[in-house]
Structure 1
Amino acid sequence: MTAPETGGTASLWHDRRFNRFWAGQSISELGDRITELALPLIAVTALNASANQVAWLTALIWTPHLLAFLLGAWVDRRAHQRRLMVLADLVRGSVLLTLPAAYLLDAVSLGQLYAVAVLTGAAAVLFNTAYPPFFVRLVPRSAYIEANSRLSASRSVSHVIGPAVGGGLVHTLTAPVAVIADALSYLASAFLIGRIPLDEPPTAGAGTGAGGTTDPSLLRRAREGMTLIGRNPVLRAGLCCAATVNFFTFAAGSGLMVLFATRDLDLSPGAIGLALGTGATGAFLGAVLAPKISRHIGVGRSIMVGAVLFPAPIAIAAVAHGPLWARAGALAAAEFLSGVGVMLFDINLNSLRTSVIPDGMRSRVAGAFSTLNYGIRPIGAITGGLLATAFGLRATLLISATGGMLSLLWLLASPIPRIHSLTPDDTATPHTTQDTTDPDPYPAPS
């Protein structure tokens, strides 16, 4: 069962259920920005971590996504995906609270940072695989881009405010104590999501399905998600493009960028936070303009523009030099342009994916997509660490910018450039409206 179709998107402003979810995600995103700055700073400043160790910290956050295809198959069989999202938030908040506790005992270690990265990453996988069926019950198809735009706008605002707030908290309270803010944000998100009244029909039992058929194994259900992506030209091209751009942007990921800004650009934590926060206004602008741009040039072309504009500006930071204002300004400019690009890419691609995935397959496809798209991120991060060790941070950033732009090639050979809107007629390409594997014995309730 999906949310009822509406003729427009204005109703979202008056939809209490969506606004409650939006508020929870906005609070959580703000906390995340603090931790994204604090974790690598703990490693760099308190533990004197090397570039390779910082890269491993980034990699471990994303490593649990390698098993997302299995978790997605499991989540598709569960009723009440909202409860799984609440559980994921509670786990993340609890794990983060171990850092200030260890700090008070003077026991913070690199091993603990790695454990926090893995556990919070695993909880994120659970949240993200339970999210797609929740989203389609919450938001009507006609409002997919608008809803994703608002959620992304909140994320971009968090990138504006979060680094500055995070830099201030780290400077005032130290990095381990600053992550308390993120832990509390997850608790707030869990509370708000848990209070959303949402019809979540029960799924079939775990042992038998419709007509008494035997429940296929977890691996088979996971494979069906993978198969659908492989046979669906829109999902396949979108995944290949996203995985490519993620590989290269994570080779220059936030950890190495913070390290580069600290050691090569000689910027203080406060200056880094201010530059990243100022530059992140580009993400807000991109999120606000994404619906208008997609209506003007089409959903597919918006994805293509974003695929190039997202990674290319990394090169601006790589060539930064000169006085303090020029170095900080280059970092801010790179963040601004990249923010515009990532919002054009994410909002339109996520909405397009949602519109072509059949009900009953959403968590499986999301899990399969995450396994490849997010699973490539730790590989990219580790590669970035090796490149930085061998060739230096500046060279690594230039390689990342160039390689990321090549992701466009996947889109050019696909139907995506010709898709203008999310109407069924526009998105109807072979294998986009039905499962191409064996018939699913457990169709989504309707």
Structure 2
Amino acid sequence: MSQAEERDFRRLWAGTTVSQLGSAVSTVAIPVVAVTVLHASAFQTALLTAIPSITILLFAFPMGRHVEFHAKRPVMIGADLLRCVVTLSVPVAAFLDLLTFAHLCVAAVGNAAGQIASAGAAQAHLKALVPADDLIRANSRLESTRWLSVLVGPSLAGPLIGVLSAVGALVVDAVSFVVSALFVRFLRTPEPPPPAREPGPSRREELFAGWRFVREHPTLRRMFMSWLLFAGASAMATPLSYLFYLRDLAFTPWEYGLLMGLPSLGGFLGARLAPGLGRRFGMVPGLWWASVLRGPWYALVPLAVPGTAGLLMCGAGFAGVLLFSGLANSTMTTYRQLHTPDHLVARVSTLWVFATNATQPVFIAFGGLVAGAFGTRAGLFLVAAFMLGSALFLPRREN
């Protein structure tokens, strides 16, 4: 990268970091507001948790189509400001004693819509901002920040909620979106014009152009299938691991908190190592190796026993999965950007988001059925098998 490109990428990176940390705080604060301020029922809490996924399923394709044919920086700034307004509206309404559960739901929809638009625009813009040879290094930095926010964000949320209250902590999240928008606003490298719409395609054809491209690309199609199986297995593991850690292994809340946060350092390290993996093996073989090596680690979790040894086994297994996931995610994202035509990048990116949110509930329900019939350990062994099996879809070399 030139010095100007490096400066602009660092601005983009800094803005992303701030907004991700703010969102991590909000992820903890919003359920606390629902339960402690509005006294939400179990059904309402579950509905509030499901709303972002429902929003993504409804709007991912139309949003991807809209973003594709517009300048990306205004979209990113607009998405940040939308999320700022809807997030800030919650503490304002609470201060005026006007906050309702319906208001929280609307805020969740607005946040999810902004997330879709911002993510699709950012993927396309990064490809235009960073030279192809530096793209994997840029993605590894962004991926490492994501894992760091998973570790640091919830840890920040507790003290912030303690000092400011859950409602007050949402103000911090709203401010983070403003900071992110300002960083994008101050990018200096000229943005290339958005792709022009070609005459002829219908609205339906434009909506699903990203899906058709991935389906017809031999390597991306296999990456897509592999990703869906791994992401589904990861979602399936979440409720099962809650039960396994807290009921079967009788870990304390403190030990459980460690298991949920500390292994994210593995994802951070893996993301930082991704550029070296790509240089050493090439992106497709590197992705294959990372995917093969991430699955076996998770088998340590269902093999764990109560006590310190079991805690170490679960921590090592989870950290190993995240280490190689960080490697795989950065490599896969870079390959996808490099091999997707510029006029399809946003739509292909939103396809990944849509498909992930569509399939994960199926895996979660299936995992619950398996655990109910055969026990939690059996369900977690199945998770490990799915994670390992996801590598079977991938080619070992470029087709």
If the length of structure 1 is used for normalisation, what is the TM-score?
0.75
Q: Which residue does 2:271 correspond to in 1?
A: 287
Identify the match of residue 177 of structure 2 among 168, 178, 186: 186
1:115–1:18 Cα change, 3 Å: same
Matched, 1:365 2:348: yes
Maintained 8 Å contact 2:266/2:323: yes
- Distance in 1 (alpha carbons) for counterparts of 2:372 and 2:94: 29
Using the alignment, how far apart are the partners of 2:369 and 2:35 within structure 1?
17
The answer to whether residue 37 in structure 2 is matched with residue 32 in structure 1 is no
Name which of structure 1's ranges 275-284 and 172-181 shifts more when overlaid on structure 2.
Answer: 172-181
1:232-270 CA distance string (max 9 Å, x none): 0111111111111111211234x77567656664533x6
Secondary structure at the aligned position of 1:285 is classed as: helix
Q: In the alignment, which residue of structure 2 is the partner of 1:344?
A: 327
Paired position in structure 2 for 1:402: 385
2:397 equivalent in structure 1: 418
Structure with greater helix share of residues = 2
Q: 1:204 to 1:121 in 2, by over 3 A?
A: closer
Q: Deviations over 1:388-422 (max 9, x none)?
A: 677766554443332232211211xx4xx214xxx
CA distance in 1, matches of 2:310, 2:384: 18
> What percent identity do the matched residue pairs reach?
31
Counterpart position of 1:132: 123
SS at match of 2:208: helix
| 1:304 aligns to 2:288 (yes or no) | yes
One-letter amino acid matched to 1:301: P
Q: Give the direction of change, closer, same or farther, for the CA distance of 1:387–1:130 in structure 2 (3 Å limit).
A: farther
Q: What amino acid is aligned across from residue 391 of structure 2 in structure 1?
A: L
Which sections of structure 2, spanning at least 5 residues, go unmatched? Answer: none
Structure 1 pair 361/397, CA: closer, same or farther in 2 (3 Å)?
same
Q: Distance in 1 between matches of 2:19 and 2:221?
A: 30
Q: Which residue of 2 aligns with 1:439?
A: none
CA root-mean-square deviation: 3.6
Partner of 2:220: 235
Q: Aligned residues, how many?
A: 396
Residue 151 and residue 39 in structure 1: after superposition, are their counterparts in 2 closer, same or farther (change >3 A)? same
1:389–1:87 Cα change, 3 Å: farther
* Matching residue's letter, 1:418: R
The superposition leaves residues 287-318 of structure 1 with CA deviations (integer Å, 9 ceiling, x where unpaired) of 12111122223322322233345455455445
> Which residue of the partner structure matches residue 236 of structure 2?
251
1:280 and 1:339 in contact (8 A); partners too = yes
CA distance in 2, matches of 1:382, 1:186: 34
Contact 2:195/2:342 (CA < 8 Å) preserved in 1? no
Superposed displacement of residue 373, structure 1: 3.5
Offset at residue 221 of structure 1 (A) = 1.2
Distance (Å, rounded) in 2 between the aligned partners of 1:112 and 1:306: 43
Q: What code does the residue aligned with 2:125 have?
A: F
TM-score normalized with structure 2 length: 0.83
- Alpha-carbon distance between aligned partners in 2 of 1:236 and 1:336, rounded to the nearest angstrom: 28
**In 2, Cα distance between equivalents of 1:19 and 1:410:** 35
Number of the residue aligned with 1:147? 138
Q: Distance in 1 between matches of 2:98 and 2:301?
A: 35
Cα separation, 1, equivalents of 2:85 and 2:370: 35
Deviations 1:335-384 (A, max 9, x none): 42222121111110011111111122222322333322443234444555
Does the 8 Å CA contact 2:5/2:189 hold for their aligned counterparts? no
Q: Residues 251 and 306 of structure 2 are in contact (CA less than 8 Å); yes or no, is this contact kept in structure 1?
A: no
The residue identity in structure 1 corresponding to 2:227 is A
Residues 316 and 59 of structure 1: is their aligned pair in 2 closer, same or farther, counting only changes over 3 Å? farther
**1:153 touches 1:288 (CA, 8 Å); kept in 2?**
yes
d(CA) in 2 for partners of 1:310 and 1:178?
35
Output aligned runs, 1:190-269, within 5 Å. Answer: 190-203=181-194, 214=199, 216-253=201-238, 265-268=250-253
Tell me, in whole angstroms, the C-alpha distance in 2 between the residues paired with 1:343 and 1:107: 43
Contact 1:69 1:370 in 2 (8 A): no
- Measured in 1, the distance between the counterparts of 2:309 and 2:28 equals 22
Deviates more, 1:222-231 or 1:65-74: 65-74
Alpha-carbon separation, structure 1, partners of 2:317 and 2:36: 24
Quote the Cα distance in structure 1 between the aligned partners of 2:205 and 2:73. Answer: 25
Confirm whether residue 89 of structure 1 aligns to residue 68 of structure 2: no
Letter in 1 for 2:351: A
Cα distance between partner residues in 2 of 1:308 and 1:114: 40
Query: Partners of 1:71 and 1:263 in 2: how far apart?
Result: 42
Q: CA deviation at 1:286?
A: 0.6
Q: Judge which range, 259-268 or 59-68, deviates more.
A: 259-268
Secondary structure of the residue that 1:406 maps to in structure 2? helix
